[in-house]
């Protein structure tokens, strides 16, 4: 198969996969009167920004809540996962392999099962329908992944770096903060990105644990908007477009760090 043919097939498959994204953008600019045109317009000729005006007027609180939840999930995930990964990679505690296996098992548990367990706990603890509760729940998905990534990455850091710092009088916490973390940038970016994306796109935990809260994430904002305005598809799609922008920008900016962080530890010298 020639190279140009492979390229053409790749472009066609990419276009097919990205067409729903294009259609979402197209509909977000389409006027209500043209929404049911037959055949549908492939380009938003004579489009409108009304959907985006409605989004900015009605959905900004949801976007702000999602941003807070995403950043909170990133912070909590890094605080828990980085030291745990360091301990498993460099301190090698007894039972470390079993803990790695438990972390893998934890990622296989369906989110809805965890959500129901959290619901009973949160109801007793009084943190149901709160932003901190949602941050904690989202972190339970991100932390196991983060520990595995940090463990794989930090296993590849030469032990001589730690030994040199300890010879100079650095304590173990100082070695972790001043030596290990600075060279673990790729792993930090990777874990932060995936933790943020999981929290930003979460719907199961949001609807189960924050369905009646005063501050709700954008996933619930879109859900309520569809239920209340099921005829205003340009506004619905405009909400989806705006909600996709942070994730898209983060993926574009951090892609090379993510590639390095995910593949860390895959090859041993």
Q: What is the pLDDT of residues 189-234, one digit of tens each?
A: 889 999 999 999 999 999 999 888 888 999 888 888 776 656 678 8
The pLDDT assigned to 9 comes to 92
The pLDDT assigned to 163 comes to 86
Residues of the chain predicted below pLDDT 70 = 227-231, 257-269
Residue 28: helix, strand or coil by DSSP? helix
CA 17 vs. chain centroid, Å, equals: 20
CA gap 253, 249 in Å, rounded: 6
CA gap 178, 171 in Å, rounded: 10
Cβ within 8 Å of residue 175, ≥6 positions away: 162, 165, 166
CA gap 71, 195 in Å, rounded: 9
CA atoms within 13 A on the CB side of 240: 20
Radius of gyration of the chain (CA): 23
Q: Where are the domains of the chain?
A: 1-48, 54-263
How confident is the model over 33-50, as pLDDT tens digits?
A: 777 777 777 887 778 888
Cβ within 8 Å of residue 31, ≥6 positions away: 46, 47, 48, 50, 234
The pLDDT assigned to 231 comes to 67
CA gap 31, 267 in Å, rounded: 53
Question: Does the structural domain 54-263 have CATH classification 3.40.630.10?
Answer: no
Q: How far is CA 214 from CA 77, 208, 220, in A?
A: 24, 14, 12
CB distance 207 to 28 below 8 Å: no
């Amino acid at each position: 198969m020639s190279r140009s043919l492979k390229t053409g097939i790749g472009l066609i498959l990419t276009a097919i996969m990205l067409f729903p994204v294009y259609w979402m953008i197209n509909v977000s600019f389409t006027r209500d009167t043209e929404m049911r045109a037959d055949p549908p317009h492939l380009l938003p000729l004579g489009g409108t920004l009304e959907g985006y005006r409605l989004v900015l007027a009605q959905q900004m609180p949801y976007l702000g809540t999602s941003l807070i939840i995403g950043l909170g999930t990133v912070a909590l995930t890094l605080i828990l996962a980085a030291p745990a990964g360091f301990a498993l990679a460099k301190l090698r505690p007894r039972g470390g392999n079993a803990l790695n296996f438990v972390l893998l098992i934890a990622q296989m548990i369906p989110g809805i099962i965890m959500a129901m367990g959290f619901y009973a706990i949160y109801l007793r603890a009084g943190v149901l329908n709160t932003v901190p509760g949602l941050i904690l729940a989202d972190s339970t998905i991100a932390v196991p992944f983060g520990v595995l990534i940090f463990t794989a990455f930090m296993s590849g850091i030469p032990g001589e770096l730690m030994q040199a710092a300890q010879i100079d009088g650095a304590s173990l916490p100082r070695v972790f903060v001043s030596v290990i973390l600075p060279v673990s940038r790729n792993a930090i970016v990777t874990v932060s990105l995936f933790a943020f994306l999981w929290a930003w796109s979460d719907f199961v935990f949001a609807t189960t644990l924050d369905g009646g809260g005063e501050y709700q994430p954008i996933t619930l904002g879109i859900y309520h908007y569809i239920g209340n305005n099921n005829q205003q598809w340009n506004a619905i799609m405009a909400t989806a477009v705006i909600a996709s922008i942070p994730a898209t920008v983060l993926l574009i900016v951090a892609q090379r760090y993510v590639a390095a962080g995910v593949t860390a530890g895959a090859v041993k010298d």
